[in-house]
Amino acid sequence: MTSTDNGETWTEDNPGWSDQTDGFINQIWVGGDGTACMSSVVLDSESRADNSYHFYLQKDGGTLEELQVEGFENIRHVVFYQGEALLFQQSYGEYGVSCEMTAYSLATGETRKVTLDGDAMHGAGIEPTIAGDKLLYLYYAETSMPLMELNPQDGISTQVMDTLSEAVSSAALVGDSEGAVYYPTPKGIYRLAPGGTLPEQVVPADGTAMSVNSNYPTSICRAANGDFLVTLAGDDSTRKVYRYHYDETLPAHAETTLSVWSLEDSATARAAINLYMRGNCHSLYSLCTQRYRIFRGGIVRNTDTGVKT
């Protein structure tokens, strides 16, 4: 699925990748210039241990090139940064989960192994994002979720904040060109300004899918117009992408109130709310379920629209 209007509409697209890969594609990473990496797996009919894995690179919209990178079957995240594809590999050993990094030069095809220091190596699989000219990531500490900066040349991490307030997912973090980072939580989407120490809430979660206890954020993207695309994993093993739009020009007080009663947290009920809000964006709403949980919308400065993935 591709979108050219910041996630408002989606089109099914076939770039022909499946015809150029062995097995089925299970992960795709795309850079800002369209460069793409993907991994595929060929399933063995008898034993999962005998599955075979492949890793591919596409540059400038050309054909896929299969790469031979040591440990590519364990790649969990890719970042395109300063002319390199940084491959983060996660493995399981005697002492738990560990993370390694391989830097692949997009210009020459050369690779270099980078030994990560303690925080990144044992951070249960880090997924850095580019914020300005920095690589930032979250990881699970014993009682907090620190924000770290990674130097990809020597693998050393430096703490930016000892904990990022309200953060629940180390994978759901995105930066912008100015150096700010954004992350979704059950209370809403927060922004930490470059050099700042106090995250601010830019999109409240009240009345949206983010506030549902059974939903867990697994990723976030920021569109060119400032909208957010948040992937939420449900307790029924489904994943849905929600688009959030925040309009700070709306009035601070609701002009009308809408109450919707549903037997459960229903996608149909939320679709009805979204349809109503498009024509009544100055309204206050609440969704009441059989569990007596009330989602209070406050002034609706954001709407969420589900997209099946």
pLDDT for 215-227, tens place per residue? 999 999 999 888 9
- pLDDT above 60: residue 114: yes
Strand order in the sheet with 111-114: 75-81, 84-93, 96-105, 111-114
Mean pLDDT over 98-112 rounds to 89
- Res. 3 pLDDT band, cuts 50 70 90: confident
Per-residue pLDDT at 105: 93
Per-residue pLDDT at 280: 61
Strand order in the sheet with 181-185: 174-175, 181-185, 188-192, 200-204
Max mean pLDDT range (137-146, 270-279, 280-289): 137-146
- H helices present in the chain, as ranges: 118-121, 267-279
**% of residues, the chain, pLDDT over 90:** 33
Whole-number mean pLDDT of the chain?
A: 81
| Residues near 22 by beta carbon (within 8 Å), at least 6 away in sequence | 40, 42, 52, 54
Strand order in the sheet with 256-261: 256-261, 283-288, 294-296
- Res. 193 pLDDT band, cuts 50 70 90: very high
